Structure 1
């Protein structure tokens, strides 16, 4: 069995905001799997079940972001699901808007939802599917105001495309039975090489 947990905050006031990118990916998967009207509540989470072919629990914690581990932990412990089979989808302010990064483990990086999950699982060895929401445009803008801001204009289309791409990555993760190597190779956004950057700058100067 596997768990895919999309992180976010419950409530219409948080719907489609930057901090709810995990919920948006979970909703996209539920739509693809024809489970949109099948959400139920148990162990501090909205959930649906899917077989791909093994059983997959798709979760949206109802604890609010900072206590996400109070949902993910009980689900993993009750069904004896190993941490490496618990995929967590969340926003990342340190990544440019729409950028996808997938990693096998690591620290919370200051993300309170991830910090809570690490505490509840007792390990940081679970896969992270991170989607960039960018930093506040102005340094004076409060972080909380930024993450609770809805997407608009060009950003909205960019993030809708990124959500679909992230759902593709998660489906490949299931297909590969939890092996992240191919998923990371295919979906981690490539960084531009210094050579390419220098060539571009030179052509602009010339």
Structure 2
């Protein structure tokens, strides 16, 4: 179902959804199947008066730029992580809300909303601020996922709050949340540009085959980190993120 946003026609939003399909992933079905099944079973069996129905939802936002031109680029890893969460948890991202591609579902017993702002990166706060205000989501339950030049490639870092670190998308979000920095963020390392390359050009470069394989592993780790965050808290999730892992560990 498409939600009509004041000032935006439903046909325009529908066109946006068709224009920006979810990025294809190469996740291992075997690694994800067990958790996907248990989450779907919980969602299907949750009655209206269950704890899940009374819990304030989490808003999980992935940052990126809309359009095919930017698919698969470094600046769009936030989009890809949200796609990974949606795929693994069986959450459809086929509606629109406040200038974002949007989906609702459960992770464990916790209601979640997934969003990929369809503004451009530098004005992501226009979408996030609207969603937070409309759905009355506490700042502590807004997880923002985005790329970070200052982290080694494919490394994750989860923090309960913080500044923008020079990231324009985060600057915009903090501004539209009335200056609040009290929301968790999951940063995905994309590494530094080689030589004297302009960072603005570097973040719009695609990944090579080897990098893509590493990222797929990173996304699997990130999906599990989000599950732990929602069901067990940020301390356990941060410990999980910062503990070295192998593919066998995730399986």
Q: 2:72 aligns with which of 6, 10, 16?
A: 16
SS at match of 1:130: strand
Q: Structure 1: 5+ residue runs without aligned partners?
A: 191-206
Once the two structures are TM-superposed, the CA of residue 189 in structure 1 deviates from its matched residue by 5.3
Deviations 1:51-91 (A, max 9, x none): 23232110000011111111111111111111000000000
Whether 1:120 aligns to 2:120 is no
CA distance, structure 2, for counterparts of residue 189 and residue 148 of structure 1: 29
The residue number in structure 2 matching 1:137 is: 194
Which residues of 2 match residues 1-206 of structure 1 at below 5 A?
1-36=57-92, 38-52=93-107, 53-122=109-178, 123-138=180-195, 140-176=196-232, 179-188=233-242
Aligned-pair RMSD on alpha carbons? 1.2
| Cα distance in 1 for residues equivalent to 2:110 and 2:215 | 29
| Counterpart contact for 1:99–1:189, Cα < 8 Å | no
Residues 70/187 of structure 1: CA separation in 2 closer, same or farther (3 Å cut) = same
Q: Do the aligned partners of 2:110 and 2:231 also contact (CA within 8 Å) in 1?
A: no
Q: Secondary structure at the match of 1:102?
A: strand
Could you state the TM-score of these two structures normalised by the residue count of structure 1? 0.87
Between the two proteins, the alignment pairs up a number of residues equal to: 186
| Greater RCO, CA 8 A, separation 6+ | 1
- Provide the rounded CA distance (Å) in 2 between the counterparts of 1:64 and 1:180: 29
Instruction: Determine if contact 2:70/2:76 at 8 Å carries over to the other structure.
Output: yes
Greater mean alpha carbon deviation, residues 10-19 or residues 156-165? 156-165
**Corresponding residue for residue 200 of structure 1:** none
Structure 2 regions of 5+ residues with no counterpart?
A: 1-56, 245-251
Question: Distance between the aligned counterparts of 1:92 and 1:102, measured in 2?
Answer: 12
Residue pair 2:161, 2:182 contacting (<8 A) in 1 also: yes
Q: Secondary structure at the match of 1:63?
A: coil
